[in-house]
Amino acid sequence: MKITKVETHLVSAPLAHSWETGIGSAKQRDELLVFVHTDEGITGIGSSYHAHAGLAMKAVVDTKVAPAVIGLSPLDIGAIWEKLFYGTVYIGSAGVQGLAGIDIALWDILGKVSKQPVATLLGGGGVEYVTAYVGCMSLGFKAHDKLVEEAQGYVSEGYKALKIRGGAGVKQDVAAMRAVRKALGDDIDLMIDVNARYSWPEAVDLSKRLQELDTYWLEDPFDFSIPNHHDEVGKLRSMGLTPIASGGNVYSRFDYRNLLERGGVDYLTPDVVKSGGFSESLKMAHIASAHDCIIAPHTLNGLGQVANLHFAAAVPGHIRGYVEWDPTSPNPLRDELMTNPVKVKDGKLYVPTGPGLGTDINPDVLKRLQASGSHEIAMQARTRRWNT
């Protein structure tokens, strides 16, 4: 079996309402789909992170990543991963995110050939479901009564953990968390993600204030805590304040090693569409296992959520945490684009049991959702109290 063609499609669907966060406003969902075709008629599907620059990432896959795999055996997954990783070193994290879609598609092919779910091939056999927390494009900036109403709706659906979007300002973030905590009581795990919006002193201040609200975690607390400043993340954690989560934008096992060895975090949040696909994400989970650090997979849209569900099932059980999930509707990338959408009940995500990823792409919906090239989130400049 040989790879004959790699095809990419950037898809997009409008949101019913604008989603407001500290990094900007979103009016749509985007996903970069990757199709790996073979000479035996088997096609694997994958997803590469759009990086809020979908056309640029499509070009990375089309012009840099895809040509390197034509003519290779799709079953040589490890060798292909190394070829792509070291062959894209000069474009940094864009290369890792670009090759993720290829890697996911290759595992999908292996599953289809062997007639096994990817979760089983990765070592997650026997895991029927994983537990979700509500995240992604939910619980953004809004009036407290509306935020509480949204949160209560998810709890009524059976979810036991929710993530509020922060970054509006330390006092505003605490007030939003307090309103939701008061409404939901003490039995719901409540997180906050501030999307790296704060200076060091603001992050420390926020972490102190969040303790009184029994905050489950504070995610990406300060500027550059996403790809850099591993020492400072560890320093904040060592202060024993609110537990720290990070890793959704840390792209390889080498970065994870640094993040953990320099003080670490309480929760690591890899995403297979960002972190080099299944092959690299599983290595990152094993590094976390050696450090006894919880893995709580980050997810995005559509096929990426399906892929992360297979990955979550394969995370060693003693460190498997919540899995991010977007229950907001309408969501055609989740409900219409997939021929076999993920089954959800009482906050549990059921691992697909069909061969490969357990789903294919609906070609009619794929045509309908072709993206125009605008970005999911128009990123905005950082501001501070003293320059606003």
Report residue 301 as tokens. 């849209």
Under 8 Å between Cβ of 27 and 14: yes
pLDDT tops 70 at residue 203? yes
112/133 same-domain check: no
236/293 same-domain check: yes
Residue 214 CB contacts under 8 Å (≥ 6 apart), including other chains: 181, 186, 190
User: What's residue 322's pLDDT?
Assistant: 98
370 domain-assigned: no
CATH number (domain holding residue 242): 3.20.20.120
Q: What is d(CA 200, CA 203) in angstroms, rounded to the nearest whole number?
A: 5
Report residue 310 as tokens. 């297979």
| DSSP label of 61 | I
Residue 385 — pLDDT band, cuts 50, 70, 90? Answer: low
367 domain-assigned: no
293 domain-assigned: yes
Domain span at residue 246 reads 119-357
Give the pLDDT confidence of 279-288 residue by residue, as tens digits: 999 999 999 9
Give the pLDDT confidence of 206-232 residue by residue, as tens digits: 999 999 999 999 999 988 766 777 888
pLDDT tops 60 at residue 388? no
CA 366 to chain centre: 21
Of 87, 108, 100, the residue nearest 38 (C-alpha): 108
User: What's residue 338's pLDDT?
Assistant: 97
pLDDT tops 60 at residue 133? yes
Give the pLDDT confidence of 96-105 residue by residue, as tens digits: 999 999 999 9
Q: How many folded domains does the chain comprise?
A: 2
Give the pLDDT confidence of 277-329 residue by residue, as tens digits: 999 999 999 999 999 999 999 998 999 999 999 999 999 999 999 999 999 99
Of 16-20, 130-134, 359-363, where does mean pLDDT reach its minimum?
Answer: 16-20
366 domain-assigned: no
- Where does the chain show beta strands of DSSP type E? 3-21, 24-38, 43-48, 129-134, 161-165, 189-193, 218-219, 244-246, 267-268, 294-295, 323-325, 343-345, 348-350
155 domain-assigned: yes
Residue 372 — pLDDT band, cuts 50, 70, 90? Answer: confident
Question: Could you tell me which residue, 251 or 209, shows the higher pLDDT?
Answer: 209
pLDDT tops 70 at residue 387? no
pLDDT tops 90 at residue 263? no
197/90 same-domain check: no
User: What's residue 132's pLDDT?
Assistant: 98
Residue 386 — pLDDT band, cuts 50, 70, 90? Answer: low
